[in-house]
């Protein structure tokens, strides 16, 4: 909660390099929690932008040559200047180009957080991924019963890279290699509009901006789940998207305490 309050007070600048499908929703999510988004992506300006930002979020969705170049430039600037950064592995389960790029980014830029759905996390870990395009494949969905194997794989990735690793889905798993959170907040509607994973990445970038990497990631992920639950009463997916941003803007600490559902492993 302290992180939530301090972001509202300090209004950190958050540099996001993301896809055009969900870029507007990502910027609005950053604004909803009180931070300031900048979505710059030209390779000739991004180093200047990252340098003055408090954190960086990069997203491999709908990848282009320009953004591939920009994300590496920004990732290196962030690493050299100790600016927290998160990579969203959108599509690495279905594209070798993205998978190879993600591996290069992770080894050269040392992101603070590596995030994807379970099919994407498996691909980066060198396991067989059953992704359905950019979505998780049915055989990769995590349940309470089969979570142990996924947790071990994620812990190993975290210990190897030094990053907090996040796998989203019905159950969200977050680990720093030692502490592992299983978050069960959320609802199916979150998977029925595009870009909720991308929006979560922008939120993580916001909440890790003062260096609380694990706690900021857990807070962002829990909030996305809870705000999804609070938005379900609407007529359809169009209003759900609006309601989700409204709830992110207005949620109280008391509501978070009432709704939060997680287990420590």
Ligand X SMILES: Nc1ncnc2c1ncn2[C@@H]1O[C@H](COP(=O)(O)OP(=O)(O)OP(=O)(O)O)[C@@H](O)[C@H]1O
Q: Binding site for substrate: what residues are annotated?
A: 39, 195
86-115: contacts with ligand TZE (CB under 6 A): 90
* Distance separating alpha carbons of residues 94 and 36, to the nearest angstrom: 32
End-to-end Cα distance, the chain: 22
- In the complex with ligand TZE, the residue whose CB is nearer, 15 or 98, is 98
Judged by CB under 6 A, the stretch of 17-25, 107-115, 159-167, 178-186 that binds ligand TZE is: 17-25
For the chain, how long is the longest CA-to-CA vector?
A: 48
Residue 129 found at the interface with ligand X (CB under 6 A): no
Sheet holding 262-264, edge to edge: 36-38, 13-17, 55-59, 85-88, 113-117, 164-168, 172-175, 180-183, 262-264
- In the complex with ligand TZE, the residue whose CB is nearer, 19 or 222, is 19
203-262: contacts with ligand TZE (CB under 6 A): none
Neighbours of 177 (CB within 10 A): 18
b/e per residue 7-34 (b: at least 16 CB within 10 A): beeeebbbbbbbbebbbebbbbbbbbbb
Q: Which does 130 bind (CB under 5 to 8 A by kind): ligand TZE, ligand X, none?
A: none
Residue 222 found at the interface with ligand X (CB under 6 A): no
- In the complex with ligand TZE, the residue whose CB is nearer, 22 or 74, is 22
Tell me which residues touch ligand X (CB under 6 A). Answer: 90, 117, 134-136, 168-170, 172, 186-188, 190-191, 194-198, 200, 221, 224-225
Tell me which residues touch ligand TZE (CB under 6 A). Answer: 19, 21-22, 61-62, 90, 134, 194-195, 197-198
């Amino acid at each position: 909660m302290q992180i939530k309050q301090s972001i509202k007070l300090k209004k950190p600048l958050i540099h996001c390099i993301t896809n055009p499908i969900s870029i507007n929703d990502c910027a609005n999510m950053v604004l909803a929690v009180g931070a300031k988004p900048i979505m710059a992506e030209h390779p000739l300006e991004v180093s200047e932008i990252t340098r003055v930002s408090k954190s960086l979020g990069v997203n491999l969705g709908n990848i282009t040559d320009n953004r591939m170049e920009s994300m590496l430039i920004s990732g290196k600037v962030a690493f050299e200047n100790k600016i927290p950064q998160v990579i969203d592995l959108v599509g690495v389960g279905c594209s070798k180009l993205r998978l190879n790029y993600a591996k290069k980014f992770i080894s050269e830029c040392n992101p603070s957080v590596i995030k994807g759905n379970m099919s994407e996390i498996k691909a980066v870990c060198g396991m067989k991924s059953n992704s359905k395009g950019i979505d998780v494949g049915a055989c990769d969905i995590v349940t309470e019963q089969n979570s142990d194997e996924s947790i071990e794989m994620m812990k190993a990735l975290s210990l190897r890279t030094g990053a907090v690793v996040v796998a989203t889905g019905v159950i969200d798993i977050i680990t720093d290699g030692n502490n592992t959170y299983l978050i069960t907040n959320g609802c199916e509607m979150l998977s029925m509009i595009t870009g909720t994973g991308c929006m979560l990445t922008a939120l993580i970038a916001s909440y890790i901006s003062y260096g609380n990497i694990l706690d900021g990631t857990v807070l962002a992920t829990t909030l996305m789940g809870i705000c999804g639950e609070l938005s379900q009463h609407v007529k359809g997916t169009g209003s759900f998207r609006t309601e989700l941003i409204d709830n992110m803007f207005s949620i109280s600490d008391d509501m978070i305490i009432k709704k939060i559902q997680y287990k420590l492993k």
